Amino acid sequence: MYFKDIDDVEKRLESANYISSKEIAIIVFLATATEKPILIEGPAGVGKTELAKAIAASLNHELIRLQCYEGLDEAKALYEWEYAKQLLYTQMVKEKVQDVIKGAKTLSEAVEKIADQEDAFFTDRFILPRPLLQAISSKNPVVLLIDEVDKSDPEFEAFLLELLSDFQVTIPEIGTRKAETIPLVFLTSNNYRDMSDALKRRCLHLYIDYPERDAEMRIVRLKIPGIDETLLRRLIDTINNIRKLDLKKKPCISETLDWAKSLIALQAKDLTRDVVLNTLNVILKYRTDVDLAISNIDKVIAS
């Protein structure tokens, strides 16, 4: 039992410094109660990764994170044999080889004898566990975050699918590992490509949008305690106006936080035209976006 009820989710997330919406709390509650993975979608920087972290923190579980990218394969995601170590060991135990093949009459007999010892080099000692194997092998329950799964290749997605349905993996030389505790799985996606139906079927879906005005104000208050309320209100309204422009990249929550921090550092008491003009580059990353905001400056500044 992870959470008592939906309110419990909301409260415990808040104590882990995460402001959740009702919807987030509901879906997290259902997913944890029925041990299903959550597929989180949403624009960049709305707190997808942060949610998984906050859940881990609020449950006091370890967070294991797998960052996906094009070309990610099982060797980087699951496990790898530590070849260098294996080679080193073969060198160190060279003499032992003499003992092993003692009494062998033919070459093939000697090879047989060595082959009998082969297993010694394919044990846990020589395995380098990557995030997925770590998550499965852990004695304590963990939160597994598979970040930006939309960047991975279809083969990897297929492999992930197997893992998510059985929570076990087979290492040919060693055998099958079954998870001791089912990890809580979060997958995030920015919708670079569509995920397969099979994967979606196994997950609950959560869409996180830019936060409501009040929620965003609460987030800023949480991270920057003591911020002036009037400044905060105008800041949030202005940033929401800017989000409505046709930008290449919309400012997200971390940009709101950065902006608030820079205004405080500049000791700006109010959001004047000049202050905004001078700090636009804190929230907008592209030159063309800054230009667009400047040409709409009087429309975006909230009164």
Partner 1 sequence: MVNLTLKFAACLRAIDMKVSTAEVLDCVNHLKLIDVIDEDLFKTVLKTNFAKSRRDHRTFDHAYDLFFHQMNSNIRLEDIKANENLVAANEIDILQKECVDQLAANLEMDQINQALINFLSGEPLTYMKMLRELQTKIEVARVINSNLGQLTERLQIMLKINAIRNLIPQFSGGNFDMPGSNKQKRLNQRLEERLDNAYQLLVKEPVPENESLNVVTRNQKRSQKLGDIPFANLSQTQIEEMRETIRQLVRKLNDIVTLRFASRNKGILDIKKTLRKSAKYHGLPLELKFRNKPLRKGKIVALCDVSSSVWSAARFMLNMLYSLQDCFSKVKSYIFVAQVADVTDFFDRYDTNDAVEKILNEADIEYNVLTDYGATLLDFKTNYMNVLDKKTTLIIIGDGRSNYLNPREHILQDMREKVRRIIWLTPEPEKFWRTGDSQIMTYKTYCHELRVCRNLNQLNEFIEELVI
What does the binding site for ligand ATP look like in residue numbers (CB under 6 A)? Answer: 17-19, 42, 44-50, 190, 219, 253-254
Residue 226 neighbours by CB distance under 10 Å: 6
Choice between 248 and 269, CB closer to partner 1: 248
- Both tokens of residue 114? 């060595």
Residue 20 lies near Mg ion (rule: CB under 5 A): no
Q: Which stretch binds Mg ion (CB under 5 A): 41-49, 168-176, 203-211, 267-275?
A: 41-49
Choice between 76 and 221, CB closer to partner 1: 76
Residue 189 lies near Mg ion (rule: CB under 5 A): no
Which option in Mg ion, partner 1, ligand ATP, none does residue 27 bind, with CB closer than 5 to 8 A by kind? Answer: partner 1
User: For 126, which DSSP code?
Assistant: G
b/e map of 271-288 (b: 16 or more CB within 10 Å)? beeebbeebbebbbeeee
Choice between 200 and 269, CB closer to partner 1: 200
Rounded to a whole number of angstroms, the CA Rg of the chain reads 26
> Residue 229 CB, nearest distance to ligand ATP (Å)?
19
User: For 43, which DSSP code?
Assistant: S
Choice between 3 and 186, CB closer to Mg ion: 186
Residue in 20, 42, 49, 239 binding Mg ion, rule: CB under 5 A: 49
Helical H segments across the chain, by residue range: 6-15, 22-34, 48-59, 74-77, 83-92, 94-101, 107-117, 131-137, 154-166, 197-202, 213-223, 229-244, 253-265, 273-283, 287-295, 297-300
Residue 55 neighbours by CB distance under 10 Å: 27
Query: Closest Cα partner for 284 from 255, 260, 262?
Result: 255
Which option in Mg ion, ligand ATP, partner 1, none does residue 19 bind, with CB closer than 5 to 8 A by kind? Answer: ligand ATP
Choice between 145 and 301, CB closer to ligand ATP: 145
**Hey, which residues between 103 and 132 contact Mg ion (CB under 5 A)?**
none
What is the C-alpha separation between 11 and 19, in angstroms, rounded?
9
Helices 22-34 and 48-59, interaxial angle, to 10°?
Answer: 60
Q: What is the 3-state secondary structure (H, E, C) of 138-155?
A: CCCCEEEEEECHHHCCHH
Choice between 46 and 268, CB closer to ligand ATP: 46
> Residue 199 CB, nearest distance to partner 1 (Å)?
9
> Residue 35 CB, nearest distance to partner 1 (Å)?
11
Choice between 254 and 296, CB closer to Mg ion: 254
> Residue 137 CB, nearest distance to partner 1 (Å)?
22
Which option in ligand ATP, partner 1, Mg ion, none does residue 194 bind, with CB closer than 5 to 8 A by kind? Answer: partner 1
Give the 3-state secondary structure of residue 262: helix
- One-letter amino acid at 181 equals T
Which option in ligand ATP, Mg ion, partner 1, none does residue 253 bind, with CB closer than 5 to 8 A by kind? Answer: ligand ATP
Which option in partner 1, ligand ATP, Mg ion, none does residue 165 bind, with CB closer than 5 to 8 A by kind? Answer: none
Residues binding Mg ion (CB under 5 A): 49
